[in-house]
Structure 1
Amino acid sequence: MPEQFGILTMGDAMITLNPATTGPLRFVANFERKVGGAELNFAIGCARLDLRSKWISRLGKDEFGRVIYNFAKGEGVDMTDVAYVEGHPTSLNIKEIREDGSGKTFYYRYHSPVLTMEPEDITEEMFKDIHIVHLTGVFMAIDRKNLDIVHRVLSIAKEKGILVSFDPNIRLKLWSIEDARAAYHDVFPYVDILLTGRDEIKSIIGTDDDKELADFAQRYSISQLVIKDGGEGSALYIDGQWVRKEAFSVTPVDTVGAGDGFDAGYLYSYLHEFEPAKRLEFANAVGALVTTVSGDNEGLPLLEEVLSFVNQEEVVER
């Protein structure tokens, strides 16, 4: 039986309230309750690809916290290092959708449960049987003290020889681009696999030129620099050369979670020793499938769905 690889991630999660009708929120009476959060989406994406997926977090000791816990556990995510905390309500994310399809997202993260996490909460035992640690910039942006937690995770991972994957996942509603750049440049020396959008990396280092990106990867000893470019496909700088793969042709209905799914797909294909071009193909397929379903994580596909899609066979009913 093939080895089941372990991936660890850490971050916030929230209840997402989707409006039942379009228009300004003050006129919306009914909402559909969902579960969201970049790192949790990633953890779910990994679990659906038959990876051992561990998520470190804190949830409010309230009904919404229990909804998130039960949902993630039901998806097969390892919740051993997720705890409930009193006095910190589970975060909310409320969406507004206008008649023309445009929208806004309103976050209610004040006093977030993850604010109770401290560096000493991260223990070496958490890293047992873990092959990759995957972090994103979202957790770092919630509160500056989270940077210390991130650095403890990175230090332990490096001590144990565990690969580090990082997605900047810039959230300018939470911090400035200047603060983000400073934090990322402290993280980059630890990173083995960087998964970033083309616009994102341009915001961080000021360019998306191939040579400049290659120089950046070499400067920080990033062995795999992966550029996500939506409908244009993706690119990978590895072993001194660029590899590119076109996007799959789908009709997108919702792009939320596509980047998280891509990350899960890329790490799956890396762990299973796919050739570089095949890694991009597999990750592109996961991202494409995510966009065909509305919701933060509802579209994250099962492994057999991705394999079927990549092989251009009839896709399992979704």
Structure 2
Amino acid sequence: MSKSLDVVTFGEPMAMFYANEVGPLHEISSFSRALAGAESNVATGLSRLEHPTGYVTKLGEDSFGQFIVDTLHREGIDTAGISYTKQFSTGMLLKSKVTEGDPKVEYYRKNSAASKLSLSDFDGDYFASAGHLHVTSISAALSPSCLEFSKHAMEFMKGQGKTVSLDPNLRPTLWPDTETMVSTINDLAGRCDWFLPGLGEGRKLTGLDTPEEIAGFYLQRGVSLVVIKLGPEGAYYKAASGEEGYVDGFKVKEVVDTVGAGDGFAVGVISALLEQLPAAEAVRRGNAIGALAVMSPGDMDGLPTRAALEAFMNAGA
């Protein structure tokens, strides 16, 4: 590493082929290609806001892997932490186009190169070059070795005095059962500083109902800030210091695609906290980028530059 990073993250980036027309995936004849993956969405958003960000993963030595690296480079994301394998392929997915509701997504990621990420791939010097680590539970669900990698990375960064954020990003189909998913994610949450669940996720993970109850559940486990996404209504936050509140969402003209909204929200909160802004302002920025994300067709299309973000937030002030 020749430079320090504001943020490092890791996970599974995938080549996404999204339909250019509405209809069942098996009837679509034309697709466009893009990069997909929760962690790569966050890395892209942070990079566009001028926060130097590094991405760690394992890719196949194939065309999809090359496409992913090229795309990350174009976004200014550091790829020195990426390793490659000839044994396994890079994952991909298909996504439908819809006029309302959530699109249908089909994944082709079983035994992917990224799922083989293990402790042998962990580079302490690389992680230590960053001030903050962002994690999702998707990575932990990919394989036992990825779960081990996740825990180690979080423990390592905390031991270095760095901050850690966790977005649960629930993917029930990746877990063997709900009980395993809940217990594992709650264990990971106890290792982070900033926890960013949606209200539905919080209810599923805790069995509690209100944002206040859910936040209290995680604050008791050592989390310093819990921010709970409430959809169009905005978000609720509570800090270990006792500071708490609801922050209104931004008006959305038209919902185009909800995929990536939570990642955009994470970008807003993380970037603002790294800039030492108050929690309420961080949540407001998260709401703004989440709104921009749902008004755009691709997972990353709505992630703004700093100028675009300021213009949108000022217009909604």
TM exceeding 0.5: yes
Which residue pairs with 1:245 in the alignment? 247
Which residue pairs with 1:12 in the alignment? 12
Deviates more, 1:256-265 or 1:95-104: 95-104
How do residues 119-138 of structure 1 correspond to structure 2 at under 5 angstroms? 119-138=119-138
1:102 to partner: Cα distance = 5.8
Native 8 Å contact 1:64 1:90 kept in 2: yes
Cα 1:36–1:210 shift into 2, 3 Å? closer
- Whether 1:204 aligns to 2:221 is no
Which residue pairs with 1:192 in the alignment? 193
Identity among equivalent pairs (%): 31
Name the CA distance, whole Å, in 1 between partners of 2:124 and 2:28.
47
Which residue pairs with 1:224 in the alignment? 225
Name the CA distance, whole Å, in 2 between partners of 1:241 and 1:99.
40
Native 8 Å contact 2:83 2:121 kept in 1: no
Cα 1:87–1:272 shift into 2, 3 Å? same
Name the CA distance, whole Å, in 1 between partners of 2:212 and 2:294.
31
> Among 245, 260, 269, which residue is 1:266 paired with?
269
Coordinate RMSD, CA, aligned: 1.9
Which residue pairs with 1:59 in the alignment? 59
SS at 2:135 equivalent: strand
**TM-score, length-normalised on structure 1?**
0.92
Which residue pairs with 2:172 in the alignment? 172
Cα 1:101–1:185 shift into 2, 3 Å? closer
1:116 to partner: Cα distance = 2.6
- Amino acid corresponding to residue 60 of structure 1 in structure 2: G
Native 8 Å contact 1:293 1:299 kept in 2: yes
Which residue pairs with 2:76 in the alignment? 76
1:67 to partner: Cα distance = 0.7
Native 8 Å contact 1:177 1:204 kept in 2: no
Aligned length: 311
- Segments of 5+ residues of structure 2 without an aligned counterpart are none
SS at 1:33 equivalent: strand
SS at 1:147 equivalent: helix
Deviates more, 1:258-267 or 1:273-282: 273-282
Cα 1:209–1:17 shift into 2, 3 Å? same
Native 8 Å contact 1:13 1:36 kept in 2: yes
Name the CA distance, whole Å, in 2 between partners of 1:53 and 1:137.
19
Which residue pairs with 1:288 in the alignment? 291
SS at 1:220 equivalent: coil
Name the CA distance, whole Å, in 1 between partners of 2:119 and 2:55.
16
Name the CA distance, whole Å, in 2 between partners of 1:210 and 1:14.
33
Which residue pairs with 1:94 in the alignment? 94
SS at 2:165 equivalent: strand
**TM-score, length-normalised on structure 2?**
0.93
1:213 to partner: Cα distance = 2.3
Cα 1:302–1:100 shift into 2, 3 Å? closer
> Among 282, 300, 311, which residue is 1:279 paired with?
282
Native 8 Å contact 2:20 2:97 kept in 1: no
Native 8 Å contact 1:289 1:300 kept in 2: yes
1:226 to partner: Cα distance = 0.4
1:197 to partner: Cα distance = 0.5
- Whether 1:303 aligns to 2:306 is yes
Name the CA distance, whole Å, in 1 between partners of 2:51 and 2:103.
34
- Segments of 5+ residues of structure 1 without an aligned counterpart are none
